[in-house]
Amino acid sequence: MIEAVNLHKVFGSFQAVRDISLSIGAGEVVALLGPNGAGKTTTVRMLGAILKPSSGRATVAGFDIVTHAREVRHVVGLLTEFPGLYMRMRPLEYLAFFGALQGMNKVDCEKRSVALLKQFGLWEAREKRLDSYSKGMKQKVALIRALIHDPPVLYLDEPTTAMDPHSARTVRDAIADLRAARRTILLTTHNLTEAEVLADRIAIVRGGTIVAEGTIPQLTQQLMGTPVWELRLATSSSRAVPLIQDLAPIEEVGEDWLRFRNEDARHINPQIAARLAEHDVPLVSLAELPRSLEDVYLSIVSAQHVDRGTWSQSNGSAEALTPAEATIDEAESEVEEVRG
Ligand SMILES: Nc1ncnc2c1ncn2[C@@H]1O[C@H](COP(=O)(O)OP(=O)(O)OP(=O)(O)O)[C@@H](O)[C@H]1O
Ligand SMILES: [Mg+2]
């Protein structure tokens, strides 16, 4: 559904994205993780045909992001980091406006707007103007806007950032439902639990490029080696060591516990249990030591965290669209960069 090959983005002399290639199948959820300034949003904006790549190419649902930008913007529902909202509007008007731009008929659009406003807890606030909405409420309207035309592809750039825990949960549940409905989702988040729960695959971006990619078990294995298992006994561990050491490399031994590396738990653990039973060594528990995505992430990112500098509006304005411009341009399906 999304195929990106060697995408680069240069702002002036600054290389924000270098050589990103990504392939995401229909119904897959991929999370982009990475430190601030890593290039995640820039990548998302290129794949959403909001920003033109400096080089490389990509297609979304078969449409080229440069030559068929308009089609790309139709198949993608985009929640950007700083969503521009028309502040004087009320949510139903606002959604009617964007629904119409996506070619929806009025009745369907209204039905869907009502359902989504209810789903995300904004129904009671439907008479208020958007400028009176809180940060999290605005974020929800922006998310609803991304979902309004029920697009096959969704880019959700930090969808739960401004939200209270209950709302964040509602959004995560909505993402899980969309995943079940086989939407293709590219998610960026700093919430690793969110990525863990929602994503089929993780791509870690650092310094404008993907430095690791795979399922969480794959990344864990790659970065942290073979899983470690812990055996706890109701007796001294010295009784177990000679029974186990030829089956798995023992890493650490304590009073009544030991840890070993285990490449093939399904094969090795039953043998260990059988040997212990055979020698009347009382087993209390046998469990894999949990290795969180946070451990994996930090092992990639924090060790060599590179601050790639910051961008201010003054030096970036020539290239970037301000949020308001981006919204207007998206609305008109005429994005400055892509047009050029
Ligand atoms: N329009 C622009 N003009 C100049 N530099 C830019 C522009 N947009 C982004 N950058 C720079 O590109 C780099 C990547 O920014 P990007 O917004 O993609 O990071 P990110 O991974 O989304 O970070 P965060 O986690 O903070 O959202 C940053 O150094 C940023 O300053
Ligand atoms: Mg970002």
Q: Which of 311, 314, 329, 336 gets mutated to test ligand 1 (max ligand atoms within 8 A of its CB)?
A: 311
Cβ atoms of 124 and 71 within 8 Å: the answer is: no
Cβ atoms of 241 and 277 within 8 Å: the answer is: no
Ligand 1 pocket member 314 (CB < 6 A): no
pLDDT of 316: 33
For the CA of 39, the closest atom of ligand 1 is 18
d(CA 84, CA 327): 5
The two tokens of residue 283 are: 């087993």
- Indicate whether 82 pLDDT > 70: no
For the CA of 14, the closest atom of ligand 1 is 5
Ligand 1 pocket member 38 (CB < 6 A): yes
Q: Is 171 exposed, middle or buried (0-12, 13-18, 19+ CB in 10 A)?
A: buried
Q: Which of 10, 11, 189 gets mutated to test ligand 1 (max ligand atoms within 8 A of its CB)?
A: 11
The DSSP symbol for 257 reads E
pLDDT tens digits, one per residue of 198-257: 999 999 999 999 999 999 988 888 888 888 999 999 999 999 999 999 999 999 999 999
Query: Which tops the pLDDT comparison, 38 or 299?
Result: 38
Ligand 1 pocket member 10 (CB < 6 A): no
pLDDT of 153: 97
pLDDT tens digits, one per residue of 98-146: 999 999 999 999 999 999 999 999 999 999 999 999 888 988 999 999 9
CA 46 to chain centre: 16
pLDDT tens digits, one per residue of 287-312: 998 888 888 888 888 765 444 333 22
Q: Which residues lie closer than 8 Å to 218 by C-beta, 6 or more apart?
A: none
Residue nearest to atom 31 of ligand 1 (CA): 311
pLDDT of 303: 61
Q: Give distance in angstroms: CA of 47 to centre of ligand 1.
A: 15
The two tokens of residue 221 are: 């294995």
- Indicate whether 334 pLDDT > 80: no
d(CA 125, CA 137): 9
d(CA 313, CA 30): 30
Q: Give distance in angstroms: CA of 265 to centre of ligand 1.
A: 43
d(CA 85, CA 263): 52
Nearest of 109, 101, 93 to residue 73 by alpha carbon: 101
d(CA 282, CA 69): 66
pLDDT tens digits, one per residue of 47-79: 999 999 999 999 999 999 999 999 999 999 999
pLDDT of 5: 98
Nearest of 39, 81, 33, 41 to residue 301 by alpha carbon: 33
The two tokens of residue 278 are: 């055979």
d(CA 312, CA 243): 63
d(CA 298, CA 315): 31
Q: Which ranges constitute the DSSP H helices of 151-215?
A: 165-180, 192-198
- Indicate whether 11 pLDDT > 70: yes
CA 106 to chain centre: 32
pLDDT tens digits, one per residue of 155-201: 999 999 888 998 899 889 989 989 999 999 999 999 998 999 999 99
Nearest of 37, 31, 63, 67 to residue 52 by alpha carbon: 67
Ligand 1 pocket member 27 (CB < 6 A): no
The two tokens of residue 185 are: 């989702």
Q: Which ranges constitute the DSSP H helices of the chain?
A: 40-47, 69-75, 91-101, 106-119, 135-147, 165-180, 192-198, 216-224, 241-244, 265-278, 293-301, 313-316, 323-331, 336-339
Give the model's confidence band at 322: pLDDT under 50 very low, under 70 low, under 90 confident, else very high: very low
- Indicate whether 91 pLDDT > 50: yes
d(CA 114, CA 42): 32
Nearest of 161, 116, 110 to residue 139 by alpha carbon: 161
Ligand 1 pocket member 301 (CB < 6 A): no
pLDDT of 127: 95
Give the model's confidence band at 313: pLDDT under 50 very low, under 70 low, under 90 confident, else very high: very low
